[in-house]
A and B are shown apart, each in its own frame.
Chain A
Amino acid sequence: MPSELAHRPAIVAPPLWYRDPISCLQSTFGTVLAQHGENPLFVLGAGWEFLYIPDDVRPEEFYYPCRYDGDLGRALAPHHALNSSWWRPADQRDPLRELRRALSEQRLVIAAVDNFHLPFRPAFGDVHAAHLLVVHGLDDELGLIHVTDAMPPAFQGPIPVEDFLRSWGSVNPQDEQDAFFSESRIQQRCLSVTVDAPYPDLTRERLAGWLRANLTGFEQPDTPVGWGGSAGLDRYTRDLVSRARAGETGALQSLYTFGWGMQAQAALHGELLRDRGAAWNCPGLAEAGRAVEGVAHAWTALRMTGAHGFGAPAEVADDLRWHAGVLRRRYAEALASVERAVGEL
């Protein structure tokens, strides 16, 4: 349907926000933050941790380990008042009722979808995969819903409600073409996001506090929730190699999904530190940022080795061990670099 025929969406189209290592999780939260006038990098790049929760990884692009009872906003931005909660329609006779109300109150909604049913996604009619997008308008009269999806190919505009409902309610069946993000029911899930903005200005002192808190987190042993900090990283990577050597495909399947969240977080945190290091003429901070970005880059080799070895885990166990060792060293170097940078702030 031509967009010029559509009524104006309930909310002014929000900015698209994307970085090449992030997933739809960070891009949708980034879009919501930008709509509130906040710099998504300053918020989503503030925290940095390692957390792996055994048996928790789901085959969804937007999976992220969460220690806060489903509050992904808090997990993504532990130093800001950003919160979120999952919900589903209460009444199937009008599944869009809650969406309509949120939009009428000028609140963006993040919706889970199956790419298979979305005409603007490359996987349309081809591959089932769980994904997130932002809903910013609903036109009941014309039967259109306005969505924002910053992931390439970026799309912003109206789509038929029927397409959205199929995607939103998809069973997302197992798909051989996507072993990582299929076989996870979408179930009309949505995220309500609360942004208690404006946030305080980002200062050297404030950033130093965040960095100290992050460093403390890495030093803490495993948490009741999962395997956390540097000790958790050691435990996770050794367990990964062991399970791969034993031929467990599940270990590699979850590596690709779980690792994406850790990679995205490191990339954003590194970019924030490098960005502020340059802006504040603080070379040590910029170098720390680059070191943290090195963590993100090391995740690439580990994740891709697992993905390409998915059919034969034991055959890639030695390569996984190699790249896991590199990843641990990158974390150690980056943590030491951040610690030095804190002293310069």
Chain B
Amino acid sequence: MTAIPGPPTEESPYDPVDLTPCFNNTGISPASDTGRGSFNVWGNSFPAESLPSGRAPVTVDGVPFRFPPVGRGNDNVRCAGQFVPVETGRFDWLHLLAAAERRTEDTMAMHFEDGTVDPEWIRVSDFWAAPARFGETKAFETPVMHYPHHVQQGVSALLWAQRVPVTRRADLKGFRLPRNVALHIFAATLQQTAVVASEHSHAQ
């Protein structure tokens, strides 16, 4: 694995996950070369000018992410069943910056050190001028959409902040993304399990 060097600090309960080895799609393009991006089957893409710069630290809802590289090739994971190993640890949430070609929901698999595996739902709304159908936070909304041959005014592209629970109280060692080409992951951060000060107790 996988943790990206640099911020956040040691005190941070968040561990950014390096998805770079899985990047297989270019979903962001510059206005000068809109044809470089191909997020969906129509060749549309997010406008780079309306998003953070490549590798920039960004925070959404208090969760830190490392934005993917922009303008240097692939910048997101089009889900195709990739397995992402992580540094073993206890986590409550997998936070994602994600977008979808039409709203979609699927299952991913959480793999634990003790050999157990849990499927969990991952739900992401449409990137195309749509509301947050699954209650996500709108991380970035662009004022334009990139088409293969032009910049389209009046159509927004949406990048969502979504989260997937890690329900098992066991050490996570990795997760497998669904085989679902509609689903794209741009960044991921694991949130560590909060340390509980008191022991379990019950009334006598």
A residues neighboring B (CB under 8 Å): 20-21, 122, 126, 152-154, 177-178, 263, 294, 296-297, 300-301, 303-305, 307-308, 310, 319, 322-323
A55 to B121, CA, bound (A): 36
Residue in A closest to B43 when the chains form the complex, CB atoms: A177
With A122-B155, A322-B179 as contacts: A297 and B126 at CB distance below 8 Å:
no
Q: Which 8 A-B pairs have the closest CB atoms?
A: A153-B154, A20-B130, A304-B182, A152-B129, A300-B104, A300-B102, A307-B41, A297-B105
Interface centre among A301, A305, A310 (most CB of B within 10 A): A301
Question: Contacts A152-B154, A153-B154, A308-B41: A297 and B181 contacting too (C-beta < 8 A)?
Answer: no
Interface CB pairs A-B, < 8 A, 16: A20-B128, A20-B133, A122-B145, A122-B152, A126-B148, A126-B149, A126-B150, A152-B154, A153-B152, A177-B42, A300-B102, A304-B180, A304-B181, A304-B182, A308-B181, A319-B181
CB-based contact B145/A300 at 8 Å: no
Instruction: Let me know if B102 and A303 touch, CB within 8 A.
Output: yes
Q: Which residues of B contact A (CB under 8 A)?
A: 41-43, 100-106, 123, 125-126, 128-131, 133, 145, 147-150, 152-155, 179-182
Supply 12 further A-B pairs (C-beta < 8 A) apart from A20-B126, A21-B126.
A20-B131, A122-B145, A122-B147, A152-B154, A294-B105, A297-B103, A300-B102, A301-B106, A304-B181, A304-B182, A308-B41, A319-B181
A323 partner residues in chain B, CB cutoff 8 A: 180
Q: Are B133 and A304 in touch, CB under 8 angstroms?
A: no
Nearest Cβ on chain B to A37's Cβ, whole angstroms: 24
A307 to B, closest residue via Cβ? B41
How many angstroms from the CA of A310 to the CA of B182 in the assembled complex?
14
Closest to B44 in A: A122
- Which residues of chain A are near B129, meaning CB under 8 Å? 20, 152-153
Bound-state CA distance A153–B144 (Å) is: 10
> Can you name the residue of chain A whose Cβ is closest to the Cβ of B80?
A319
- A304 contacts B41, CB within 8 Å? yes
Q: Is A177 a contact of B41 with CB atoms below 8 Å? A: no
In the complex, what residues of A have CB within 8 A of residue B126's CB? 20-21
Q: B138: shortest Cβ distance to chain A, in Å?
A: 14
Q: How far is the CA of A167 from the CA of B37 in the complex (A)?
A: 29
Instruction: Tell me the minimal C-beta distance from A91 to chain B in angstroms.
Output: 37
Given A152-B128, A152-B154, A153-B155, A21 and B103 touching (CB < 8 A)?
A: yes
B104–A152 contact, CB under 8 A? Answer: no
B179 near A319: Cβ-Cβ < 8 Å: yes
Residues of B within 8 Å of A310, CB to CB, are 41
Residues of A within 8 A of B42 (CB): 177-178
* B181:A305 contact, CB within 8 angstroms: yes
Chain A residue numbers with a CB within 8 Å of B147 are 122, 126
The residue in chain B whose Cβ has the minimal distance to the Cβ of A180 is B41
Q: What residues on A are CB-neighbors of B43 within 8 Å?
A: 177
Measured between beta carbons, the chain A residues less than 8 angstroms from B154 are 152-154
Q: Which of A20, A122, A152 contacts B103 (CB 8 A)?
A: A20
B152, closest chain A residue (CB) = A122
Q: How far is the CA of A122 from the CA of B147 in the complex (A)?
A: 8
Of the residues A126, A177, A178, A301, contact of B182 by C-beta under 8 Å: A301
Q: Flag if A304 contacts B105 (CB, 8 Å).
A: no
Min Cβ gap B3→A in Å is: 31
**Contacting residues, chain B, for A294 (C-beta < 8 A):** 105
- Residue in A closest to B147 when the chains form the complex, CB atoms: A122
Given contacts A20-B133, A304-B41, A297 and B152 within 8 Å (CB-CB): no
Most chain A CB neighbours (cut-off 10 Å) among B145, B153, B155, B182: B182
Q: Please name the residue on chain B nearest to A267 by beta carbon.
A: B103
- A21 CA / B129 CA spacing, docked (Å): 11
Minimum distance in angstroms from A156 CB to a CB of chain B: 12
Contacts of B148 in A (CB 8 A): 126, 177
Instruction: For the complex, give the distance between the alpha carbons of A152 and B153 in Å.
Output: 10
**Is the pair A300, B128 in contact by a Cβ cutoff of 8 Å?**
no
Whether A301 pairs with B150 at a CB distance below 8 angstroms is no
